[in-house]
Amino acid sequence: MKLVLNIWRQKNSNAKGKMVRYELANVSEHMSFLEMLDVLNEELTAKGEDPVAFEHDCREGICGCCGFMINGVAHGPQPGTTVCQLHMRHFKDGDELWLEPWRAKAFPVLKDLMVDRSAFDRIIRAGGYVSVSTGSAPDGNAIPIEKQKAELAMDAAQCIGCGACVAACPNASAMLFTSAKVSHLALLPQGQPERDRRVLSMVAQMQEEMFGACTNMGECEAVCPKNIRLENIARMNREYLRASWTFREEEAVAGGG
Amino acid sequence: MMKLDARIPSGPLEQKWDKARFEMKLVSPANKRKYSVIMVGTGLAGGSAAATLGELGYNVKAFCYQDSPRRAHSIAAQGGINAAKNYQNDGDSVYRLFYDTVKGGDFRSREANVYRLADLSVNIIDQCVAQGVPFAREYGGVLANRSFGGAQVSRTFYARGQTGQQLLLGAYQAMERQVQAGTVQVFAHHEMLELVVVDGRARGIIERNMVTGEISAHVADAVVLATGGYGNVFYLSTNAKGCNTTGIWRAYKKGAAFANPCYTQIHPTCIPVSGDYQSKLTLMSESLRNDGRIWVPRKKGDTRPPNQTPEGERDYYLERMYPSFGNLSPRDIASRAAQRVCDEGRGVGPTGLGVYLDFADAIARLGKKTIAERYGNLFEMYERITGENPYEGPMRIFPAAHYTMGGLWVDYHLMSTLPGLFVLGEANFSDHGANRLGASALMQGLADGYFVIPYTLSHFLAGVKPGDGVTVGHAEFQAARSEVGRRTARFLSIKGKRSVDSFHRELGKVMWEDCGMARNRKGLESALARIPAIREEFWKNLNVTGEALEINQALEKAGRLADFLELGELICRDALEREESCGGHFREEYQTPDGEALRNDEKFAHVAAWEYAGENAKPIRNTEPLDYENLHLAQRSYK
């Protein structure tokens, strides 16, 4: 098939970007979307032009590197699918596509379709973990976990941190991402000791990074390649409310010894 | 010739690690913060090591080429992680996991290392559960297990088909906690390009900031490489596109020995190639072989759709050839069997390079719901890629390059032949011999990172002074830095006609055809003639667009390929000199009458550790004998 691609080209964070039009022939329906871009890049390189920069690594939908907007939809038209797993059989001959990077203040464009998502790492850093140093763990079966709870935690833990939720949200909110981690750990007994502190610090960090607020649009859930559910946001709101009422920073008490 | 001292503690197998730990020197809590460590790679091995070393109080700088440490390729591991917990009461033990791993590796690994791995496996599960890794559970709330290739017990722990992801996120989160605590600094989107050796000791690295293009030097008291495997030498593999050999290859050229490069693993269950634009191959987890049955038509050239091939005209060849392990035969054996039936003209699919993996029986026996619970995400992935629904008809699969057992030589302390250079996970050669069993890579990465390196690195650091007067101003740092600058300038100045990928495909084709699943002298000699020719053209006719001081993905790829073009030759050389078949290394000249690998224990029960001898000089093949004190060297049988 033949395609027309309008791709956002931007040399670096400081440069002004613009849409550039490319025509690409001989696209096979069995190619993945990124393989189609590989073919375009080979053509551009042969002409001595700069290839289109896009993030990608595993190309099997799990590393979370890839992602951009295709005709205004994060990761393109197929639900529950990252752009690396989107195949060209979902497009037809003569289609014209517009490819743009994630757009959010917290995700500055680095080049072409690449953005800086380090804000997500900083949200995890603020508390998205269980503080258990290596060596101090009890036996794996010491604490039984209700199967259903474990499954729910796993549903939330599947998040790949690609950032599609932020890109799809009219407010550029990171609530789906943050709530997935808060839910994952709040649902498990291992997450209980730091439950309140975690949600408060992660939400505070999310705000500091200039992500927008959630207004329950649901666009995030619609584009999430891992089908992370909105109920996680509801759970995080409950967690946040509960923690806000009861949590107090401990006062320092000098120890003996 | 190098002296290879594996530093294996004396005494009974079961007590070696305890003894070693007791004999190792410690660094006092107050002194730990004076030492600095460079960690390259943040996958299961690097991430867990950085977190643990940070918890102990060392200053760690962790580097990864991805835009976040959470994206290292360990994340793609699907099926599970082995541990000798014996929660199923089905006869497992540390000794059995040790035995299965040595046997699975075709008796080409070190007993002491493997025993330690099996012993530590149980602690890994505990640690990961405590971090909140959501492993699969039974209704009673306890951990669930499944079976994997090469074992007759159920010892694999899993989190749906995303075990690697969940374990990696556990390690990543533990590391981020240390970033918050101030002990670990993360440099994401930074790629190591050179190792710096001062007075015979690894003291730092030169790296490139992939966003700004800036080259920087970093000094430390020790350098740890956890950079993964080199499967992308085949171009098409199940590895992520960015996986590369640069870290370990640069170290090799600075004096670290490279062990058993020819031990590469071809995974039997991947989605077949569909066209020449193909950029990677996707693995379908080995766990699918728990319930899926592999077959091809009995007759040559039978092109009927699978559902129209009657039961009696199907050949469930693994069940026929290996009745006791059946579909769960080890990877090397299952891969070669698939190739054999395709060579006989019985392969399926448009290219004839494929076999069926069929779930019809399992769905009839267990119901669609149970199958969906176990493998749902894998089935969806298959459908996304192929457009075919595996609940309705069988999957088509074919072997693909997946894992590399070879890597930098390390001793029992995981230190390479360069003092101060430690190597963890897939990047080292240590535990899997000539073939790795399924669900053992995650186990090794985490054992190395959580439980081995904290002791052995401390022991090393206790013997050196923090800083030792070396800074990035040292002449060796300056030299390494200008070498990196020169190489970058050279890539950009060639301005030839061909793209990096076109050369990579060409190298991959040579490697796959002549040094892939089966190898022979003639093919290897031809590869050894062709690879230098590709390399020569690469340096004359390469086209890298753009500039050095910007995001330049072509430049990144060129640097990685330049190293693969050298490594490919070493792999073929190693394969040529190892005149036997073992595990993933199958030499057609050395096989039993029924086509199984035929080892030559008299001549080759050793590790081949290659030593760099300079540009255009033949590398030196050193050997480390493998002494089997506990196990009897036997011909592997899965029949």
pLDDT of B345-397, one tens digit each? 999 999 999 999 999 999 999 999 999 988 888 899 999 999 999 999 999 99
Residue A147 is nearest to which of B138, B174, B179, comparing CB atoms?
Answer: B138
Give yes or no: residues B271 and B396 share one domain: yes
B69 vs A contacts (CB less than 8 Å): 121
- Asked if B351 is an interface residue toward chain A (Cβ–Cβ < 8 A), one would say no
> Which region holds residue B518: left if phi is over 0, alpha if psi is between -120 and 50, else beta?
beta
**Is the separation of the CB atoms in A111 and A53 below 8 Å?**
yes
**Is the separation of the CB atoms in A32 and A88 below 8 Å?**
yes
Quick: pLDDT tens for B311-331: 999 999 999 999 999 999 989
* DSSP codes joined into one string, B303-363: -S-GGGS-GGGEE-HHHHH-TTTGGG--HHHHHHHHHHHHHTT---STTS--EEEE-HHHH
What's the rounded Cα separation, in Å, for the pair B628 and B112? 10
Q: How far apart are the first and last CA of chain B?
A: 42
Q: Do the domain assignments include residue B472? A: no
pLDDT greater than 90 at residue A253: no
Q: Do the domain assignments include residue B572? A: yes
Q: What is the mean pLDDT of residues B470-480?
A: 98
> Which region holds residue B27: left if phi is over 0, alpha if psi is between -120 and 50, else beta?
beta
| Containing structural domain, residue B574 | 484-604
What's the rounded Cα separation, in Å, for the pair B134 and A211? 28
- Mutation for testing the A interface, residue in B64, B124, B155, B177 having most A CBs under 10 Å: B177
Give yes or no: residues B391 and B281 share one domain: yes
What's the rounded Cα separation, in Å, for the pair A68 and A109? 11
Last residue of a domain, one of B370, B400, B430: B400
Q: What is the CATH number of the domain that holds A198?
A: 1.10.1060.10
Portion 368-397 of B in contact with A at CB < 8 A: 380-381, 384-385, 387
Give the pair of three-digit tokens for residue B253. 């050229």
- Mutation for testing the B interface, residue in A28, A29, A60 having most B CBs under 10 Å: A60
Give yes or no: residues A58 and A98 share one domain: yes
B551 vs A contacts (CB less than 8 Å): 12, 53, 110-111, 114
> What pLDDT, on the 0 to 100 scale, is given for residue B148?
85
The structure tokens 């599960």 sit at B125
A110–B551 C-beta distance less than 8 A = yes
Give yes or no: residues A12 and A79 share one domain: yes
- Asked if B361 is an interface residue toward chain A (Cβ–Cβ < 8 A), one would say no
Give yes or no: residues B389 and B507 share one domain: no
Give the pair of three-digit tokens for residue A87. 């195949």
B141–A144 C-beta distance less than 8 A = yes
Instruction: Report CA Rg, chain B.
Output: 24
A153 vs B contacts (CB less than 8 Å): 132, 134
* DSSP codes joined into one string, A111-179: ETTEE--HHHHHHHHTT-S----TT-PPPTTSS---HHHHHHHHHHHT-----HHHHH-TT-B-HHHHH
The structure tokens 């992939």 sit at B210
Q: What is the CATH number of the domain that holds B579?
A: 1.20.58.100
Least Cα separation, residue A256 to chain B (angstroms): 19
> What pLDDT, on the 0 to 100 scale, is given for residue B509?
97
- Asked if B635 is an interface residue toward chain A (Cβ–Cβ < 8 A), one would say no
Residue B254 amino acid letter: K
Residue B58 amino acid letter: Y
> What pLDDT, on the 0 to 100 scale, is given for residue B373?
83
Quick: pLDDT tens for B515-559: 999 999 999 999 999 999 999 999 999 999 999 999 999 999 999
At residue B625 the predicted structure's pLDDT band, cuts being 50, 70 and 90, is very high
Give yes or no: residues B492 and B590 share one domain: yes
**Is the separation of the CB atoms in B461 and B96 below 8 Å?**
no
Q: Do the domain assignments include residue B238? A: no
What's the rounded Cα separation, in Å, for the pair B578 and B572? 10
- Asked if B169 is an interface residue toward chain A (Cβ–Cβ < 8 A), one would say yes
- C-alpha pair distances (Å), B625 with each of B414, B416, B604: 17, 17, 8
What's the rounded Cα separation, in Å, for the pair A216 and A207? 17
- Asked if B486 is an interface residue toward chain A (Cβ–Cβ < 8 A), one would say no
The structure tokens 């399924």 sit at B438
Taking each helix axis as running N to C, give the angle between helix A147-157 and helix A175-186, from 0 to 180 degrees, rounded to the nearest 10.
150
Least Cα separation, residue B205 to chain A (angstroms): 23
In this structure, are strands B355-358 and B215-219 parallel, antiparallel, or unpaired?
unpaired
> A186-219: b or e for each residue (b if 16 or more CB lie within 10 Å)?
bbbebbeebbbbbbbbbbebbeebebbebeeeeb
B75–A120 C-beta distance less than 8 A = no
Give yes or no: residues A148 and A220 share one domain: yes
Active site amino acids of B? 331
Q: Do the domain assignments include residue B565? A: yes
HSE toward the beta carbon, residue B284, CA cutoff 13 A? 32
Residue B137 is nearest to which of A57, A138, A150, comparing CB atoms?
Answer: A150
Which chain A residue is nearest to residue B168, measuring alpha carbons? A63
Give yes or no: residues A61 and A177 share one domain: no
Instruction: Report CA Rg, chain A.
Output: 21
Which chain A residue is nearest to residue B378, measuring alpha carbons? A60
Quick: pLDDT tens for B166-198: 999 999 999 999 999 999 999 999 999 999 999
A59–B279 C-beta distance less than 8 A = yes
Residue A62 is nearest to which of B51, B165, B450, comparing CB atoms?
Answer: B165
Quick: pLDDT tens for B391-420: 999 999 999 999 999 999 999 999 999 999
Contacts of B56 (CB under 8 A, 6+ apart): B32, B454, B458
Contacts of B394 (CB under 8 A, 6+ apart): B292, B295, B306, B356, B357, B358, B359, B360
- C-alpha pair distances (Å), B21 with each of A58, A145, B4, B26, B201: 37, 34, 21, 10, 23
> What pLDDT, on the 0 to 100 scale, is given for residue A196?
97
Q: Do the domain assignments include residue A196? A: yes
What's the rounded Cα separation, in Å, for the pair B298 and B150? 26
Taking each helix axis as running N to C, give the angle between helix B44-56 and helix B453-462, from 0 to 180 degrees, rounded to the nearest 10.
50
A185–B186 C-beta distance less than 8 A = no
B137–A160 C-beta distance less than 8 A = no
A11–B134 C-beta distance less than 8 A = no
B52 vs A contacts (CB less than 8 Å): 133-134
Give the pair of three-digit tokens for residue A9. 């080209």
Residue A57 is nearest to which of B71, B135, B550, comparing CB atoms?
Answer: B71
Which chain B residue is nearest to residue A54, measuring alpha carbons? B553
Q: Do the domain assignments include residue B622? A: no
| Containing structural domain, residue A54 | 3-104
Q: Do the domain assignments include residue A190? A: yes
Quick: pLDDT tens for A150-202: 999 999 999 999 999 999 999 999 999 999 999 999 999 999 999 999 999 99
- Look at residues B10, B117, B31, B20 and name the one whose alpha carbon lies nearest to residue B455: B20
Please tell me the least confidently modeled range out of A252-256, B121-125, B443-447: A252-256
pLDDT greater than 70 at residue A255: no
Give yes or no: residues B273 and B380 share one domain: yes
In total, how many domains does chain A have? Answer: 2
- Mutation for testing the A interface, residue in B68, B78, B238, B267 having most A CBs under 10 Å: B68
The structure tokens 């690396």 sit at A84
B51 vs A contacts (CB less than 8 Å): 134
Q: Do the domain assignments include residue B304? A: yes
Least Cα separation, residue A112 to chain B (angstroms): 10
* DSSP codes joined into one string, B531-594: HHHHHHHHHHHB---S-SSS--HHHHHHHHHHHHHHHHHHHHHHHHH--S-BTTB-BTTSB-TT
Give yes or no: residues A93 and A163 share one domain: no
A121–B188 C-beta distance less than 8 A = yes
pLDDT greater than 70 at residue A257: no
Give yes or no: residues A238 and A174 share one domain: yes
Contacts of B189 (CB under 8 A, 6+ apart): B64, B65, B66, B67, B209, B210, B211
**Is the separation of the CB atoms in A9 and A17 below 8 Å?**
yes
Quick: pLDDT tens for B553-606: 999 999 999 999 999 999 999 999 999 999 999 999 999 998 889 999 999 999
In total, how many domains does chain B have? Answer: 2
Helix/strand/coil percent split, chain A, to 5: 35, 10, 50
At residue B304 the predicted structure's pLDDT band, cuts being 50, 70 and 90, is very high
A125–B179 C-beta distance less than 8 A = yes
> What pLDDT, on the 0 to 100 scale, is given for residue B341?
95
What's the rounded Cα separation, in Å, for the pair A252 and B248? 47
Q: What is the CATH number of the domain that holds A70?
A: 3.10.20.30
Least Cα separation, residue B386 to chain A (angstroms): 8
Residue A140 is nearest to which of B52, B126, B186, comparing CB atoms?
Answer: B126
pLDDT greater than 90 at residue A254: no
Q: Do the domain assignments include residue A28? A: yes
A87–B387 C-beta distance less than 8 A = yes
- Asked if B242 is an interface residue toward chain A (Cβ–Cβ < 8 A), one would say yes
Quick: pLDDT tens for B31-67: 999 999 999 999 999 999 999 999 999 999 999 999 9
pLDDT greater than 90 at residue B638: no
Q: What is the mean pLDDT of residues B97-106?
A: 96
Residue B180 is nearest to which of A42, A125, A136, comparing CB atoms?
Answer: A125
Q: Do the domain assignments include residue B369? A: yes
Quick: pLDDT tens for B434-465: 999 999 999 999 999 999 999 999 999 999 99
Give yes or no: residues A179 and A100 share one domain: no
Give yes or no: residues A100 and A128 share one domain: no
At residue B161 the predicted structure's pLDDT band, cuts being 50, 70 and 90, is confident
Percent of chain B residues topping a pLDDT of 70 = 100
Last residue of a domain, one of B371, B400, B429: B400
Which chain B residue is nearest to residue A64, measuring alpha carbons? B71
Give yes or no: residues A53 and A91 share one domain: yes
Give yes or no: residues A37 and A122 share one domain: no
B55–A32 C-beta distance less than 8 A = no
Give yes or no: residues A170 and A238 share one domain: yes
A85 vs B contacts (CB less than 8 Å): 381, 384-385
A151 vs B contacts (CB less than 8 Å): 134
What's the rounded Cα separation, in Å, for the pair B222 and B36? 7
What's the rounded Cα separation, in Å, for the pair A179 and B235? 38
- Asked if B450 is an interface residue toward chain A (Cβ–Cβ < 8 A), one would say yes
Residue A158 is nearest to which of B162, B278, B385, comparing CB atoms?
Answer: B162
Q: Is the pTM of this model over 0.90?
A: yes
pLDDT greater than 80 at residue A256: no
Last residue of a domain, one of B375, B400, B425: B400
A188 vs B contacts (CB less than 8 Å): 132, 134
Residue B66 is nearest to which of A30, A65, A136, comparing CB atoms?
Answer: A65
Which chain A residue is nearest to residue B284, measuring alpha carbons? A60
Give yes or no: residues A232 and A165 share one domain: yes
Q: Do the domain assignments include residue B207? A: no
Residue A49 is nearest to which of B138, B173, B545, comparing CB atoms?
Answer: B545
- Asked if B131 is an interface residue toward chain A (Cβ–Cβ < 8 A), one would say yes
CA angle B290, B598, B299 (to 5 degrees): 55
Give the pair of three-digit tokens for residue B428. 């080292």
Q: What is the CATH number of the domain that holds B330?
A: 3.90.700.10
A144–B543 C-beta distance less than 8 A = no
> What pLDDT, on the 0 to 100 scale, is given for residue A222?
98
What's the rounded Cα separation, in Å, for the pair B172 and A121? 10
Average pLDDT, chain B: 96
CA angle B383, B384, B386 (to 5 degrees): 60
Q: Do the domain assignments include residue A112? A: no
